[in-house]
């Protein structure tokens, strides 16, 4: 599979991360030049298909297993995106008054929680994939493998937060407090992450995605995810 990322995209350093993984839990990198990568192809189904087939819990367990493999590798390079930078757009939109009145309380609360979580977790930062979700884990001849890493530097638990907000745009499944609570419990047990911390990061992640989608059709989806996670975390 040949992938050409934009030089300014947050996946521009994906080859660096794949090289670090060395095929462990992720597709193998064959060669790269700048933001262009030639990598192993994982052509099997993704985890979203499993969720839609009624195997949500099994898909969540696979996510935990794959992320667990990825987290056996750690490094600290200047190219990695520090976790506070992920919420820059959220803070900027708030500062510039671009957030609507109806969404302002949730977005402002998310920015405050993000600052608190980043400060509290600073000593635990490590290499993260940065974009773990049901479409970025594919089946291959070697088993389930992650694709398209962004390369984030932050706490391990953050790699699970995006998965709680997915499969993307399946609002009836994702923005459901019973489903999210169950998935969070599976992650807490299988991955050894703290459930409430996971839900707080999921709240932050949903809000920051809403900030990235400020004028996009999926903003309501991300706000719904953030509201459910924030309710379960007790922060909204």
What are the structure tokens assigned to 182, written together? 């169950």
Identify whether the C-beta of residue 148 lies closer than 8 Å to the C-beta of residue 162: no
Q: Is the pLDDT of residue 7 over 80?
A: no
Alpha helices (runs of H) in 102-176, residue ranges in sequence order: 104-120, 158-164, 171-174
Rounded to 5°, the CA angle 63-66-68 comes to: 105
Question: Under 8 Å CB-to-CB from 102, ≥6 apart: which residues?
Answer: none
Q: Which residues are catalytic?
A: 131
Whether the pLDDT of residue 141 is over 80: the answer is yes
pLDDT at 75 over 80: yes
Q: What is the pLDDT of residues 149-161, one digit of tens each?
A: 999 999 999 999 9
Split at pLDDT 50, 70, 90, the class of 82 is very high
**Looking at the chain, how many residues does it have?**
236
Please give the domain boundaries of the chain with CATH numbers for all domains. 45-233 (3.90.1200.10)
- Mean pLDDT, to the nearest integer, of 115-142? 95
Omega cis (within 30) before 10: no
In the numeric block, which tokens belong to residue 33? 């030049």
């Amino acid at each position: 599979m040949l992938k050409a990322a934009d030089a300014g995209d947050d996946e521009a350093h994906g080859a660096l991360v794949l090289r670090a993984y060395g095929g462990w839990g992720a597709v193998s990198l064959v060669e790269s030049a700048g933001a262009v990568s030639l990598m192993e192809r994982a052509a099997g189904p993704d985890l979203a298909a499993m969720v839609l087939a009624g195997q949500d819990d099994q898909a969540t367990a696979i996510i935990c297993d794959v992320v667990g493999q990825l987290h056996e590798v750690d490094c600290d390079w200047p190219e990695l995106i520090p976790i506070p930078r992920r919420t820059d757009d959220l803070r900027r939109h708030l500062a510039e008054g671009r957030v609507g009145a109806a969404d302002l309380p949730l977005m402002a609360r998310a920015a405050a929680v993000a600052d608190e979580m980043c400060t509290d977790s600073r000593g635990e930062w490590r290499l993260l994939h940065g974009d773990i979700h049901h479409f970025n884990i594919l089946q291959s001849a070697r088993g389930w493998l992650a694709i398209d890493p962004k390369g984030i530097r932050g706490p391990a638990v953050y790699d699970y937060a995006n998965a709680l907000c997915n499969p993307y745009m399946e609002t009836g499944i994702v923005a459901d407090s019973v489903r999210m609570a169950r998935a969070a419990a599976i992650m807490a047990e299988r991955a050894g992450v703290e459930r409430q911390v996971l839900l707080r990061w999921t709240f932050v992640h949903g809000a920051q995605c809403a900030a990235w989608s400020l004028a996009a059709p999926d903003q309501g989806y991300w706000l719904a995810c953030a509201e459910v996670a924030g309710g379960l975390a007790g922060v909204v």
